[in-house]
């Protein structure tokens, strides 16, 4: 099996596993317990907190551990909605956000929120003027992701941030796919809130963290009550091993940033070059800045579902987001970019990772080229296309 679904999740790096193991077997005390073993666990968590803060250039207090980005997104959207009721109920987001944002926005709408969903152009980018005119005096949050999980398209966050600052609208950016893959050097100056997840960067599943800028912490209403952990912002026993693993994964991504991403981008470009030789193929988001490892491609006259089924025991890829794989609708991201349902249905998303090799990429190109040919073989429309 060739694994090219690294946007859905990544394998846990062996050194991350090694770092976590003692915290399952030996150093298992509850970090909130008031005895020497509990204090040691608390110390280890604070060390991880410190690692994240220094690698990312933020404050320890601005970090809240979560079970991953879905929880992180729920915490921020619902928390801001609850905390800012006296200012307003309006949130601006875009049509190509992850379902965790869109579904939470739908839920908020049923609880009195007013949501503006911005369109994107054919390159997957929002329009800054549209953003500016959507913001009003009732706007309590603008939620625009940094990098899209299906296409890898990177939004112009610096310009978005300028618009938000001009109108005093706090900015939340889902940067789950971006951490470890693109530089976040100025990111934390630009945003007020952000969320991340360890399993997208060779860390364990079920852990992530939120960034909440210091000035927004007081008065912020967390929505998981109980135990008072994490300064009452998110109750529940600290998941010590996973938090240790998360910090190690972020540290590794930081130390190896250039090496990992140069390799990943070279492999993605090799894949892109090989697959785009297939007649009637379209790279989605080709003209926009994109994540180094993501390739989203549609094939005319091919049923993406059948194509995926034919590849399912040989190559691990997705047609869109793994989180929406139960859906029978075409990708909301691709249709928002103006693709027809047919072309959106025929798309495949590749996520190249640091563990992939040139040999795997070449084998994948060969397999996909052959399967696309087979899918079209008995398609009368393909035969008559000219």
DSSP-derived letter for residue 12 is: P
Q: Report the Cα 187 to chain-centroid distance in Å.
A: 15
Residue 286, both tokens: 């080709």
Q: Which of 10, 74, 116, 176 binds ligand PLP (CB under 6 A)?
A: 176
Confirm whether 12 is a catalytic residue: no
**Rounded Cα distance, 161 and 158, in Å:** 5
For residue 137, the minimal CB distance to ligand PLP (Å) is 29
Strands 171-174 and 294-299 turn out to be unpaired
Site map 38..77 versus ligand PLP, x via CB under 6 A: ------------------------------xxx-------
208 binds ligand PLP (CB under 6 A): yes
| 174 part of the interface to ligand PLP, by CB under 6 A | yes
- Residue 159 beta carbon to ligand PLP: minimum distance, rounded to whole angstroms: 20
| 239 lies in the binding site for ligand PLP (CB under 6 A) | no
Among the listed residues 29, 53, 55, 323, the single contact to ligand PLP using CB under 6 A: 323
Q: Are 241 and 20 in contact (CB under 8 A)?
A: yes
Q: Decide if residue 344 touches ligand PLP (CB under 6 A).
A: no
Out of 16, 126, 145, 344, point to the residue binding ligand PLP (CB under 6 A). 145
> Distance between CA atoms of 228 and 236, rounded to whole angstroms?
8
Residue nearest ligand PLP, CB atom distance: 68
- Cα 98 from Cα 74, distance rounded (Å): 12
- Which phi and psi angles does 139 have, rounded to 5°? -70, 120
CA dihedral 63, 69, 71, 72 (to 10 degrees): 40
Q: Whole-number minimum distance, CB 74 to ligand PLP, in Å?
A: 10
CB of 122 to ligand PLP, least distance (A): 21
Which of 173, 197, 261, 298 binds ligand PLP (CB under 6 A)? It is 197
Burial of 113 (0-12, 13-18, 19+ CB in 10 A): buried
Q: Does 98 bind ligand PLP (CB under 6 A)?
A: yes
| Integer Cα distance of 39 and 45 in angstroms | 10
224 belongs to the binding site for ligand PLP (CB under 6 A): no
Residues marked as catalytic: 323
Q: Which residues bind to ligand PLP, rule: CB under 6 A?
A: 68-70, 98, 100, 145, 149, 174, 176-177, 197, 208, 321, 323
């Amino acid at each position: 099996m060739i694994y090219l679904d690294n946007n859905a999740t990544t394998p846990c790096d062996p050194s991350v596993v090694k770092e976590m193991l003692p915290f399952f077997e030996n150093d298992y005390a509850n970090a909130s317990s008031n005895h020497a073993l509990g204090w040691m666990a608390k110390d280890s968590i604070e060390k991880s907190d410190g690692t994240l803060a220094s690698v990312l250039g933020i404050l320890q207090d601005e970090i809240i551990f979560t079970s991953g980005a879905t929880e992180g997104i729920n915490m921020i959207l619902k928390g801001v909605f609850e905390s800012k009721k006296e200012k307003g109920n309006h949130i601006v987001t875009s049509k190509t956000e992850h379902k965790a944002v869109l579904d939470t926005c739908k839920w908020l709408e049923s609880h009195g929120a007013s949501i503006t969903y911005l369109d994107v152009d054919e390159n997957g980018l929002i329009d800054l003027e549209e953003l500016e005119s959507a913001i009003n005096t009732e706007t309590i949050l603008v939620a625009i992701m940094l990098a899209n999980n299906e296409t890898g398209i990177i939004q112009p966050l610096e310009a978005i941030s300028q618009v938000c600052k001009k109108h005093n609208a706090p900015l939340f950016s889902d940067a789950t796919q971006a951490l470890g893959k693109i530089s976040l050097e100025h990111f934390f100056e630009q945003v007020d809130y952000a969320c991340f997840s360890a399993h997208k960067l060779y860390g364990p599943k079920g852990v992530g963290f939120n960034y909440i800028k210091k000035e927004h912490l007081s008065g912020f209403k967390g929505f998981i009550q109980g135990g008072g952990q994490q300064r009452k912002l998110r109750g529940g026993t600290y998941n010590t091993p996973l938090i240790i693993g998360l910090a190690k994964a972020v540290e590794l991504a930081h130390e190896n940033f250039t090496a990992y991403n140069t390799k990943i981008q070279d492999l993605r470009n090799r894949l892109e070059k090989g697959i785009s030789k297939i007649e009637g193929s379209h790279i989605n988001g080709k003209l926009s800045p994109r994540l180094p490892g993501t390739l989203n491609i549609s094939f005319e006259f091919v049923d993406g579902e059948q194509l995926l089924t034919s590849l399912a025991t040989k190559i691990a890829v997705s047609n869109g987001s793994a989180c929406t794989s139960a859906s029978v609708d075409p990708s909301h991201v691709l249709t928002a970019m103006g693709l027809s349902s047919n072309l959106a249905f025929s798309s495949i998303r590749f996520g190249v990772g640091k563990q992939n090799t040139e040999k795997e990429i070449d084998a994948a190109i060969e397999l996909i080229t052959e399967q696309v040919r087979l899918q079209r073989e008995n398609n009368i429309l393909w035969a008559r296309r000219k």
